[in-house]
Chain A
Amino acid sequence: MSHRLLHPSASGKRWQWQSRVGALALAVHPHKQRGLGLTRRCLVLRQLVRILALVLLLPMFSGCVRPVSRTRTIVTGRLEPRHFHFVTVVEKTEEGPGGWRAACVHVRILRSNTGESFDCRLGIEVPIENDDGPVSVQLAQRIAAERTNETSRVVFESATPITPLGLLCEKFKNTLRPLIEASIGGARLMTRCHEKAIPVQLGEIVP
């Protein structure tokens, strides 16, 4: 199944995080708008400066220089709770807080104009029970998906077309970590996935 499900954007650079059956990807669509420079008024002023060399006119240029290009970033799509496939790592046999589960999601970040991609690996690990009571798999999945989606908006909307994808992944994880830990007492976001956690990549379980 093709993972490039993204459509050219007419509204400028666009991040799309698509989540369909069997596909999960994040892509950047850089879109250059026409170049902008000095306005006609500014050009006249510049000419005046050249001819008359009047330094006093220079402050009149303020506000003439506009961005050469303008971009904006839109994040669409969602990671679903079912993408977080938790497995038990440490059994819980006693009453009270304890036990340990791990999940691993490989989010593919794709820059559509160059084809450059990066697998951003999220290892999320949670206790089976904490001070609030049992942390069901469903609860862990829902919270993991919610926090991940919130973070994706914050981080990817601030990205530029030249942001290295690996750096973007690191920023994503650094932002997500405190949110996950604050949402489920005892939970952790890992620098690597646990070996027993089955990686879910692009909607498929990778053996």
Chain B
Amino acid sequence: MSLSTEQLLAIARTYWRADKSYELRQEKSPEAARLEVRWNQALARVDRWQAFLRELKQELPDFTIGDGTATPDACFRCVVYPVKGRPLPPFDWIVVGCVSILAPIYIVYGVEYGRVGNRKRLNPRLRFEPFPSGMRHPADVIARKIEESFGVSKLPRERAETPVPLFVQWVEPPETTLFHALFTNEPHNVP
């Protein structure tokens, strides 16, 4: 059963505040405490996510698969790099799949980076569907594998970009969207 945008907004408000009143206080906000509980519950079943990553590796043998899961976010993240090696050779784009820990939804996005000499990951540019040709194949595979493994629904870009008047880590209104609150607040920042 897919959730309405209003229901997703209500979920977002459960875990992020509409003000910064707790930022300078010693104690954590009720919203932050609830998010911690959700992360603890999600990480207790991290083996499911790890199994998914192993399967994704088999499906995309020409790519490097990374685990971009970070608890400042609200989702498990898989990162597909279009290069292989250790350390990774320079790359200009990535594709990321996010499975929310707050709602039965997922999203796939891409990031294009600039590069000048040794300086990399400059000027990140976020991409959503429809993806450029290079991103399309890994994005399709990620989406299919997430649906098979977790039974969650893709949140369309238009709904993900719904503004929410919430403070999500460093992202503040009017910039904040459902995407930041239910998935990641630093989409360009991956390992």
Size range of the interface on B? 20 to 34
CB–CB B24/A166 < 8 A? yes
With both chains docked as a complex, state the minimum distance between the C-beta of B27 and any C-beta of chain A, in angstroms. Answer: 10
Question: Which residues on the A side are within 8 Å of B190 (C-beta)?
Answer: 97, 185-186
With both chains docked as a complex, state the minimum distance between the C-beta of A90 and any C-beta of chain B, in angstroms. Answer: 5
Give Cα A82 to B189, complex, Å: 26
CB–CB B191/A185 < 8 A? yes
Known: A94-B53, A131-B88, A190-B169. A125 touches B67 (CB 8 A): no
With both chains docked as a complex, state the minimum distance between the C-beta of B172 and any C-beta of chain A, in angstroms. Answer: 11
With both chains docked as a complex, state the minimum distance between the C-beta of A162 and any C-beta of chain B, in angstroms. Answer: 18
Chain B, residues 169-189, CB within 8 Å of chain A (1/0): the string is: 110000000000000001001
- Which of A96, A99, A191, A195 has the most B CB atoms < 10 Å from its CB? A96
Contact of B191 among A89, A131, A166 (CB under 8 A): A131
- Which residues of chain B (26-70) have a CB below 8 Å from chain A? 26, 28, 32, 36, 43, 46, 50, 53-54, 57, 64-70
CB–CB B68/A125 < 8 A? no
Chain B, residues 63-81, CB within 8 Å of chain A (1/0): the string is: 0111111111000000101
Question: Which residues on the A side are within 8 Å of B191 (C-beta)?
Answer: 97-99, 127, 129-131, 185-186
- Which residues of chain A (148-203) have a CB below 8 Å from chain B? 166, 169, 177, 181, 185-188, 190-192, 194-195
Known: A90-B71, A131-B81. A192 touches B28 (CB 8 A): yes
Q: What is the interface of chain B, defined by CB distance below 8 A to chain A?
A: 23-24, 26, 28, 32, 36, 43, 46, 50, 53-54, 57, 64-72, 79, 81, 86-88, 91, 121, 169-170, 186, 189-191
